[in-house]
Structure 1
Amino acid sequence: MLDVTERTIQVFLVDDHRATLWGLERLIGAADRMRLAGSATSVAELLASPASRDADVIVIDLDLGGADSSASFAELLHTYGAKILVLTGSRDLDTHRRAVLAGARGVVRKEEPVEILLRAIEKVDEGDVWVNRALIGDIMNMLTGARQAVPNPDDARIATLTPKEIEVITAVVRHKGAKSLVIADDLGISEHTLRNHLTTIYHKLEVHGRLELYVYAKERRIGTEAHS
């Protein structure tokens, strides 16, 4: 049961479809804890409306006349103390993610029951977020740097090495400064074959010569398990 002492939530609606706006106005007008602060069909109209200053929650469509309204969220958040709740017909998670990262406190799809929208308005007004579990997990991962971490180029290069090439690098590390003949003998191959392996390794790891290969391998611990 609702506490009668709870304050009324002032809701401002923004949608460029007048039929949708008409229905939303009546929905908010009939809700127990809500009052319609005003409505608009564009961001410009919203900013020009004195009633928008009283809003606690701005419910706004993402697509306003073909323009992405999330581009205006920074200005809206700077101008008003209201929280932004997106109401959209789009199912695209990337679009929803951009809206939240732009400052929206929640996203509700237009196909969802009206009870969901009313509940979302209440939760957003209370300071909570209203997004689906997959999206909030994705956004949290992005904010913590865990989502799609930038791959390390060195890891990609090292992954191209064959077991034989790793063996050659191990021998180079083990016999630091030794002549090619010593390394080739240790590997049981000819100097010519060693040179061919090294040429391929230099190309893969983007190093120039055995000294750079030795430093590269030591820094990245390639073939160092046999090194004492």
Structure 2
Amino acid sequence: MADVRVLVLDDHEVVRRGICDILDRAEGIEVVAEAANVAQAVRRADAVRPDVLLSDLRLPDGTGLDVIAHVRSQHPDTHIVVLTSYDDDDAKAAARAAGADAFIAKTAGSAELLKAVRDAASGREHGQHIQVHEDDAIAALTPTERKIVSAVGEGKSNREIADSLGIAEKTVKNHVTSILAKMGLQRRTQVVAWATQRRAQSFRR
């Protein structure tokens, strides 16, 4: 059986090297690329097409959500494990919305880290599995809010959305605030990531 090929994304070199050492010493796992920021991760993911992306969320030039959304849309066969130094509902919701498969804290031991990578590669659920059903994420949204989510995902500004829907720009801002609250997100970029993931799922059906 071929080794599980992993891309490790973390901006802290000491942490990243420690993770890579753990993975490289394990039987059946090979670190094929490392990245310290969003730009590197996107470029290297496209080059190596890893079986598993092990991604931090906080990065100097963006967030891991940007990378997750890109990988999920461009390389749907890659499994994604979110590695983070904090464990809260907002982080899980954001990663879930972007399309991650599992969530593991940096405080986890090496055995749990290896299990998370292997489980992700084999498609098994691991620990705090966070895949979300699309219907669960949008069930609470009104028809107008769903249109706004779609428009935000297309990169449209509040002014452009307001013009297309025939409503005031302030009304759009209020809707975006409501959307973030209902979806358990904090930033507009997370809505973009969620919308990107939803389109990718639609294309694969």
Same fold (TM over 0.5): yes
Matched, 1:74 2:69: yes
Q: Equivalent pairs: percent with the same residue? A: 22
Identify which of 46, 49, 57 aligns with 2:41: 46
Please give the alpha-carbon distance, in whole angstroms, between the structure 2 residues aligned to 1:68 and 1:51.
Answer: 18
Instruction: Indicate the residue corresponding to 2:32 in structure 1.
Output: 37
CA-to-partner distance for each residue in 1:57-105, whole Å, 9 max, x for gaps? 0101011127332133221222223111110001112211220121001
Please give the alpha-carbon distance, in whole angstroms, between the structure 2 residues aligned to 1:76 and 1:44.
Answer: 12
Matched, 1:109 2:105: yes
- The structure-2 alpha-carbon separation of the partners of 1:40 and 1:7, relative to structure 1 and needing over 3 Å to count, comes to same
Please give the alpha-carbon distance, in whole angstroms, between the structure 1 residues aligned to 2:9 and 2:138.
Answer: 35
Which structure 2 residue ranges, 5 or more long, are not aligned? Answer: 142-205
Any idea what SS the aligned residue of 1:49 has?
helix
Shift of 1:17: 0.2
How many residues align? The count is 141
Any idea what SS the aligned residue of 2:33 has?
strand
Matched, 1:15 2:10: yes
Shift of 1:127: 1.5
Instruction: Indicate the residue corresponding to 1:63 in structure 2.
Output: 58
Give, as a single letter, the amino acid of the residue that structure 2 aligns with 1:100: R
Instruction: Indicate the residue corresponding to 1:132 in structure 2.
Output: 128
Shift of 1:109: 0.3
Identify which of 119, 124, 129 aligns with 1:123: 119
Shift of 1:52: 4.5
Instruction: Indicate the residue corresponding to 1:217 in structure 2.
Output: none
Any idea what SS the aligned residue of 1:91 has?
coil
Between 1 and 2, higher relative CO (CA 8 Å, sep ≥ 6) is seen in: 2
Shift of 1:54: 3.6
Please give the alpha-carbon distance, in whole angstroms, between the structure 2 residues aligned to 1:123 and 1:113.
Answer: 15
Which structure 1 residue ranges, 5 or more long, are not aligned? Answer: 1-5, 151-228
* TM-score (normalizing by structure 2): 0.60
Please identify the structure whose Cα radius of gyration is greater: 1
> What root-mean-square deviation, in Å, do the aligned CA atoms of Structure 1 and Structure 2 show?
2.8
- The structure-2 alpha-carbon separation of the partners of 1:145 and 1:70, relative to structure 1 and needing over 3 Å to count, comes to closer
Please give the alpha-carbon distance, in whole angstroms, between the structure 2 residues aligned to 1:39 and 1:109.
Answer: 19
Instruction: Indicate the residue corresponding to 1:83 in structure 2.
Output: 79
Please give the alpha-carbon distance, in whole angstroms, between the structure 2 residues aligned to 1:145 and 1:51.
Answer: 28
* TM-score (normalizing by structure 1): 0.54
Matched, 1:96 2:92: yes
Shift of 1:144: 4.2
Instruction: Indicate the residue corresponding to 2:182 in structure 1.
Output: none
